[in-house]
Structure 1
Amino acid sequence: MNTILRSLKVAALFCLFSIHSDGQEMRYSFEKGMMGSPFKLVFYATGDSLANLAAKRAFERIEKLNEILSDYRDGSEINLLSAQSGSGKWVPVSKDLFDILAVSQDISKKTGGAFDATLGPVVQMWRHATRKGIFPPQEEIHEALQKTGYTKMQLDRAKQSVLLIQKGMRLDIGGLGKGYAAEEAIKVLKNMGITSAMMDAGGKIVLTNPPPGTKGWNITISNGSDSLKTMALSNVALATSGPTYRFMEYKGVKYSHIVDPQTGIGLLFHVRTTVISPDGTVADALATAFSVAGIDKSKAYLKHFPGSRVWLVEKQDEHIADWNMLE
C-alpha cells in the first residue's frame, strides 16, 4: 500500500513513498537538497510517526554540519577558523570540525598529499575561473598554491584545537564533507533503532543492513562511459568521483573540478573513480585522492586502507586504463 506522507515540517523535505514489506516494517524514502546536492534517505521503519521523526532528525543533523563545514557561508565555523590563519593562535573548534580535519590529515599523510583540505585558495580560484570561462594565469595559480599544504595545518587532539601556520590559508573539506554527513545521518537512524537504511548524499552513499528479505541494496556503478555494474551491498560506504557534470572546458581541453594539489590545475586524465570502504568519510576522501594519484600510485596507497576496494578509470596517452577491484 502506497502512502504519501505530508506531515514533515522541514522545508523542501518530501517522503516519496512507503511500502509494506513484511507486515511489520515499511519502506520510506525522503529527499532534500542540501550542501548543493540532492540527499536521498531510504530506510525501513515500523510506522509513519517513527519514519517522519527519524528523517527530520537526520536532515537536521546534516544542516547543523553544513553550518559548521560549509566554505560558502561567511559565518561557518570552518571559514572563521580559516580567517585566523597565520595568527599564530591555536583555535579551539567543535568536535565535528576537529574530527573531519583529523580524518583529512590522516588521509593526506597516507596518500602523499593527493588529498588536501588546505586546497581552498586553489578551489576558490578555479570556481571563479569556471564561472568566467577563463583559464587562470600561471602567476595566480602559483600564488594560490603558496597558501596550501596539509603540513601547514597542525592539530592538537588533547585541546581539540587547530593551528593554521600561514596567513591566507583557506580550508575546504568538499572532498569528504558529504561522506561525513551521510555517516552522521545514519548514526541518527541507528540511535532510533532503524537498522536497514541507505543515505545517498549526492553520490556519496552509506548503507546499513539489507532491506528485509534481500541480500543487499542494489547499487549500480558506472565506469564513466558505457560499462555498468550492479552490486548488492550492505554495511559499507561508496563514493564516486568524476568530471561528467563538473568541469571547465578551455580551448578544447576539459579540466576536471578535482584539482591536483601539486600543480593547482584541474585533472586532465581522470575519467571515473569509485571507492567502497567501511566508512563514508574515508570512501569520499579516497575517491578524490585516488583520482589525483592515478592507478599506479593508488595501488601503493591502498594498502593503508584495509577493507577498501577501487574501480579507477583514467586516460593514459590515447588509451583508457581500467583498474577494477570490484569484480
Structure 2
Amino acid sequence: MRYTFEKGLMGSPFKLVFYAPNDSIAKVAAGNAFKRVEELNEIMSDYRDGSEINRLSATSGSGRWVPVSKDLFEILAVSQDISAKTGGVFDATLGPVVQMWRHATRKGIFPPDEEIRDALARTGYSKLKMDARSRSIMLTQKGMRLDIGGLGKGYAAEEAIKELKKLGITSAMMDAGGKIVLTDPPPGSKGWNINVSNGSDSLKAMQLSNVALATSGPTYRFMEYKGVRYSHIVDPKTGIGLLFHVRTTVISPDGTVADALATAFSVAGIKRSKKYLKHFKGSRVWLVEKQGERTAEWNMLE
C-alpha cells in the first residue's frame, strides 16, 4: 500500500511517500520520521535561540573546546570536508554574512561596505576546529556564527529515511523542501518518477532510485537593488548574494552531500565546479548559469 504524509518542518513542506504493509505501521513510521526531523531542528536551526548550534556559536572566541551531540559533530564534519574539497565555496561559518544578507533582503537595503567587511572578517571554515576523540568543537574567533542551512535538510531527509528502514520499509521517498532522498523503486516499477527543471524552459523526467537529489536556485528568493538582482545564495569571498542567476541540480549517493553541492556549485559556477566534482564520486550535475544575455549549461543528467 502506498502512503503519503506531509508536515511543515524547518520552514519547508516535508513530504514522505512510502510503501508499507498496513495503516498502523505506516502511521508509526511517518510519526518516527517526522519526530527525528524535529529533533534535528532543535539541534541545527539557526532561527531558534536555544538550538544547540546557536549555543555553540555563542562560545566563539572563548578558547574552549565544546562537547557536542553526535548529530551536530557529524553534520559539521561533512560540512568541513566539503569546504576543503571546494576551496571554501561552501562554508558553515558563513552565519554572520547570511544574517546580514537576510536582514538586507527583508529591508531591501544594500548593506554598507563596512558591514560586509566586518561580517566577512568573522567567517572562514579554518576557524572551526574539530576533535573527534572528545567529539568537541572550538570556534577560534569571537563573533562567529554557524549556519548549516546549506545541508541541514539533506541530512534530515537521510535521517528520516533511516527511521523507515528500522521498520522494514524499503521503498520510500522523502522530499525535504526540494532535497529528495530515494530508496528502492515503488513495487513493480523501475524507479521514482522525478521531474527536474533548469529554471526556465527545459524539463527532464527521470526514473531514479537509491540516490539523493537537490536543486538550488534564486527562483523565489532574491533581492533587487538599483535594478540589479542578487540571489539569496551568498558568495563566501564577496559577502554578497550571487550576481549571476544559477540553477543547479545535483544527484548524489547521499542527501547531505547533494544538498551541500547544490549550493557550492551555484557559487562556484560551471568552470570551477567541473574541477571540484572530481572529489565527489557518483555525483552528477545539471548547472545553468545566466550572466546578462549569455547562458551556459553543463548537463550530466542526459
Same fold flag (TM > 0.5): yes
- Post-superposition CA distance 1:81-138 (Å, at most 9, x none): 0000000000000000000000000000000001000000000001111111101011
Tell me how far apart the structure 2 counterparts of residues 231 and 157 of structure 1 sit (CA, whole Å): 39
SS at match of 2:13: strand
Contact persistence 2:190–2:207 (CA under 8 A): yes
* Greater relative contact order (Cα < 8 A, sep 6+): 2
Q: Measure how far apart 1:252 and its partner are.
A: 1.3
1:256 pairs with 231, 245, 268, which one? 231
Q: CA RMSD in A?
A: 0.6
Q: Measure how far apart 1:270 and its partner are.
A: 2.9
Q: How many residues in Structure 1 have an aligned counterpart in Structure 2? A: 302
Match of 1:200 in 2: 175
SS at match of 1:113: coil
Structure 2 residue 264 is the aligned partner of structure 1 residue 292: no
- Post-superposition CA distance 1:129-161 (Å, at most 9, x none): 111110101110000000000000010011100
Tell me how far apart the structure 1 counterparts of residues 212 and 81 of structure 2 sit (CA, whole Å): 18
Tell me how far apart the structure 1 counterparts of residues 3 and 121 of structure 2 sit (CA, whole Å): 48
Match of 1:320 in 2: 295
Tell me how far apart the structure 2 counterparts of residues 88 and 326 of structure 1 sit (CA, whole Å): 46
1:119 pairs with 74, 94, 100, which one? 94
- 4+ residue runs over 6 A deviation: none
SS at match of 1:31: strand
Tell me how far apart the structure 2 counterparts of residues 270 and 205 of structure 1 sit (CA, whole Å): 23
Structure 2 residue 144 is the aligned partner of structure 1 residue 172: no
Structure 2 residue 42 is the aligned partner of structure 1 residue 67: yes
Q: Which runs of 5+ in 2 are unaligned?
A: none
SS at match of 1:115: coil
2:10 pairs with 2, 23, 35, which one? 35
Tell me how far apart the structure 1 counterparts of residues 72 and 179 of structure 2 sit (CA, whole Å): 19
Q: Which runs of 5+ in 1 are unaligned?
A: 1-25
Structure 2 residue 285 is the aligned partner of structure 1 residue 310: yes
Instruction: Please identify, of 213-222 and 245-254, the stretch whose mean Cα deviation from structure 2 is larger.
Output: 245-254
Contact persistence 2:245–2:291 (CA under 8 A): no
SS at match of 2:158: helix
Larger radius of gyration: 1
Matches within 5 A, 1:1-327: 26-327=1-302
Percent pairwise identity: 82
Q: Give the TM-score, by structure 2 length.
A: 0.99
Instruction: Please identify, of 249-258 and 232-241, the stretch whose mean Cα deviation from structure 2 is larger.
Output: 249-258
Q: Measure how far apart 1:45 and its partner are.
A: 0.1
SS at match of 1:320: strand
Tell me how far apart the structure 2 counterparts of residues 79 and 144 of structure 1 sit (CA, whole Å): 17
Q: Measure how far apart 1:260 and its partner are.
A: 0.2
SS at match of 1:174: coil
Q: Measure how far apart 1:316 and its partner are.
A: 3.7
SS at match of 1:142: helix
Tell me how far apart the structure 1 counterparts of residues 159 and 122 of structure 2 sit (CA, whole Å): 31
Q: Measure how far apart 1:317 and its partner are.
A: 4.8
